[in-house]
């Protein structure tokens, strides 16, 4: 089934490594990321969870809550966490910084999280590497879908969070390969006069053969 950008992300209840949880209650008022992994005790997933745990401060400073998800049970998650902690540098080795949820097959199927090309020993499709970024309004802002064999690039996840949070509050878009603090683009819906009022640092228009003035750069308004 899956979920489309802009849709309200569905609520669900599940068992997690931090007890029974209602997803909406957990993320209330915050940006959030729900990300799935194919299976516990698998090598690529271990490096991903290790990176997210070791660098949890990157999510905290952006006001983002994390929840991991697979169809493995909580007891398996809790055992696996010890392996994750053993291969990464965590500031609080005694406590994993975010919950891992034990999702049902119906939930991961409804969210479009299954990878038909990767199956478990019983022939059932594994959970793909999904990244769902959800805004404070509980709507889906961005989704990334990786196959089970390809680990995620967390630098890109930080980058898109920065872009999403900036463009949610400012009338700008971010160009290819943009990084926080770099020049942004004035959205086409603004006239030049409106842009002058909104961006006191000004903007510059890039000349193009069409002579249309739609490529306009302005300093990052959050800086």
Residues 158-203 have pLDDT tens digits of 999 999 999 999 999 999 999 999 999 999 999 999 999 999 999 9
Q: Is residue 2 part of a domain?
A: no
Q: Is residue 5 part of a domain?
A: no
Place of tokens 């038909």: 116
Whichever domain contains 205, its CATH number is: 3.30.1020.10
Expressed as residue numbers, the domain containing 194 is 170-218
Domain identity same for 100 and 193: no
pLDDT band at 110; cut points 50, 70, 90: confident
Structure tokens at 50: 């290790």
CB 130 within 8 A of CB 143: yes
The count of domains in the chain is 2
Cα distance between residue 29 and residue 106, in whole Å: 27
DSSP state of 9: P
Domain identity same for 149 and 201: no
Q: Is residue 207 part of a domain?
A: yes
Single out the residue of 35, 5, 3 nearest to residue 135, CA to CA. Answer: 5
Q: For residue 139, is pLDDT > 90?
A: yes
Q: Is residue 107 part of a domain?
A: yes
Element (DSSP H or E) covering residue 82: helix 74-87
In this prediction, residues 128-156 reach a mean pLDDT of: 92
Domain identity same for 123 and 58: yes
What pLDDT shows up at residue 145? 87
Whichever domain contains 127, its CATH number is: 3.40.30.10
Cα distance between residue 73 and residue 187, in whole Å: 46
What pLDDT shows up at residue 93? 58
pLDDT band at 104; cut points 50, 70, 90: confident
Domain identity same for 80 and 41: yes
Domain identity same for 111 and 193: no
Domain identity same for 181 and 157: no
Residue that finishes a domain, picked among 140, 161, 182: 161
- Is the Cα dihedral 56, 173, 142, 6 positive or negative? positive
Q: For residue 120, is pLDDT > 70?
A: no
Domain identity same for 156 and 178: no
Cα distance between residue 71 and residue 126, in whole Å: 9
Does the active-site annotation cover 45? yes
Active-site residue among 75, 120, 137, 192?
137
Active-site residue among 40, 45, 72, 115?
45
pLDDT band at 56; cut points 50, 70, 90: very high
CB 65 within 8 A of CB 27: yes
Q: For residue 91, is pLDDT > 60?
A: no
pLDDT band at 123; cut points 50, 70, 90: low
The strand pairing partners of 133, in sequence order, are 33, 142
What pLDDT shows up at residue 115? 66
Q: For residue 154, is pLDDT > 90?
A: yes
Does the active-site annotation cover 137? yes
The torsion angles phi and psi of 49, rounded to 5 degrees, stand at -65, -35
Q: Is residue 127 part of a domain?
A: yes
The pTM for the full model equals 0.90
Q: Is residue 1 part of a domain?
A: no
Mapped onto helix, strand or coil, the DSSP state of residue 111 is coil
What pLDDT shows up at residue 92? 53
């Amino acid at each position: 089934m899956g979920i489309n950008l802009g849709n309200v992300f569905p609520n669900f209840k599940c068992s997690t490594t931090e007890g029974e949880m209602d997803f909406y209650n957990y993320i209330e008022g915050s940006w959030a990321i729900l990300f799935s992994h194919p299976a516990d005790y698998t090598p690529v997933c271990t490096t991903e969870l290790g990176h997210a745990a070791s660098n949890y401060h990157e999510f905290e400073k952006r006001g983002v809550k994390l929840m991991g998800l697979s169809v493995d049970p909580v007891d398996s998650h809790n055992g696996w966490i010890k392996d994750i902690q053993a291969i990464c540098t965590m500031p609080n080795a005694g406590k994993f910084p975010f919950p891992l949820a034990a999702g049902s097959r119906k939930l991961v199927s409804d969210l479009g999280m299954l990878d038909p090309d990767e199956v478990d020993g019983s022939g059932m499709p594994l959970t793909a590497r999904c990244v769902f970024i959800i805004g404070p309004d509980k709507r889906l802002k961005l989704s990334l879908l990786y196959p089970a064999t390809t680990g995620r690039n967390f630098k890109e996840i930080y980058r898109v969070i920065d872009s999403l949070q900036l463009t949610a509050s400012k009338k700008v878009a971010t160009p290819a390969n943009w990084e926080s603090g770099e020049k942004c683009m004035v959205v086409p819906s603004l006239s030049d006069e409106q842009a002058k009022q909104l961006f006191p640092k000004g903007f510059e228009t890039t000349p193009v053969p069409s002579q249309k003035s739609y490529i306009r750069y302005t300093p990052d308004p959050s800086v």
